[in-house]
Amino acid sequence: MDKKSLISIHIAVLLFGAAGLFAKLIPMSALLLTMGRALFSAISLYMFIHFRHYSLKLNSMKDYFWNGLAGIFLTVHWFFFIMSIQVSKVYIGTITVAAYPIFVIFMEPYLFKEKFQFQNLISVIVICVGIAFLIPSFQLNDSMTLGIFYGLVSSFAFAALSIINRRLASSYNSVIISLYEQTIAAFIMTLVISLIHPTLGEGSFIDFINLVIYGVIFTALAHSLYINGLKDIKAQTASIISVLEPVYSIFWALVFLNERLTSQEIIGTIIIILAVMIHIIQNNRQGEEDNEKISISN
C-alpha cells in the first residue's frame, strides 16, 4: 500500500470533516453557501482539468442526463447538509449523512439488478438504533430533531448520488463527473436565489473569502486529494478511512465551536460509525470492491 496515497486519503477526509464548520462560521443562508461552495469548487476543478488537458466531452446524451440528475441530487445533498448543521450541530449533519447505507442497501439491488443481501438488514437496523439515540424528541419543532430530519434528506440524496456515480465512474474520470455535477449545482442554486430572493446579499468581505476557501480548499482540493489517493489504494480501504469523517468533524467542532456531545449522543454516534464500518467490511468480503466507486460527501 502506497504511503503517500494513504496520507492523501487521510488529509482529504480530514478536510471533509472540517467542511461542516463553514455552515456555522459563515453567517450566510444555506442557499448562498451551497451556491458559493459549488461555484468556487467547480471553477477550481475546471482549472485543474484544463491544466491536465482532460476532455469534457461525454460519450452519449444518456450520460449527460445522468450527470444532470446527479447534479440535482448533489444540490439537494449539500443544501440539506448545511441546513442540518445550521439548525442543530455540526456532528448531526455529518453523522446522519454517514448513515446513507440505509438507503443504498435498498436502492442498489433494484437499480443494478443485483441480489438483495439480507445480512445488510442488520446494518440498517443498527444504524436506525444509532439514529434513535440521537433524537431528543419526536417533534420537528425541536432543533436537534429537525437537524436529523434535514440530515436524513441529505443522506438520501447522497445515496442516490453515489449510485449514479457508480454508473458513471466506469467510463469517466471522477474529476470530470464532479465538474459537471458541481456546475449544475451552482446553476440551480443561482436560479433559485434569483427567483426567491433576487436582492439577497449577506456577509462581509471576510465571509466571502471564507466561502472561497470553503469551495476551493475544503471541497475541490479535498476532492482532488481523495481521487489522487485512490490510484494506489483500494476503494474499500478508502471507504473505511472515510468513516473517520464524522470523528474528525466532531473534533473540529469541539476545537472551534466548543460543541460537546452528551453521553446519549456519543453512544448513538459510535453505533452508527461501527455499523457503517461493518457494512463496508462485509461488502469487501463479498468481493464487491471492484464494483464500488466512492462519491465525495461533504
* Residue 176, C-alpha cell as written in the block: 470530470
Please, which residues have CB within 8 angstroms of residue 72's CB and are 6 or more apart in sequence?
184, 188
Looking at 38-47, 51-60, 237-246, 284-293, which range is the least confident one?
284-293
What confidence category does residue 292 fall into, taking pLDDT thresholds of 50, 70 and 90? very low
pLDDT band at 290 (very low <50, low <70, confident <90, very high): very low
All three cell numbers of 112, joined, read 443494478
Task: Write the pLDDT tens digit of every residue in 185-227.
Answer: 999 999 999 888 755 556 788 999 999 999 999 999 998 888 7
Identify the band that residue 36 occupies on the pLDDT scale cut at 50, 70 and 90: very high
Residue 220 has a pLDDT of: 92
- Tell me the pLDDT tens digit for each residue of 162-171: 888 878 877 8
Q: What is the pLDDT of residue 294?
A: 47
pTM of the model: 0.86
Quick one: pLDDT band at residue 229, thresholds 50, 70, 90? confident
Cβ 164 vs Cβ 66: under 8 Å: yes
Per-residue pLDDT tens over the stretch 42-72: 999 999 898 988 889 999 999 999 999 999 9
**CA–CA distance, 32 with 82 (Å, rounded to integer):** 10
Closest CA to 190 of 10, 36, 26: 36
Mean pLDDT of the chain: 85
Question: Which one, of 74, 53, 62, lies nearest residue 176 by Cα?
Answer: 53
Query: Residue 4, CB half-sphere, CA atoms under 13 Å: how many?
Result: 3
**CA separation for the pair 127, 103 (Å, rounded):** 11
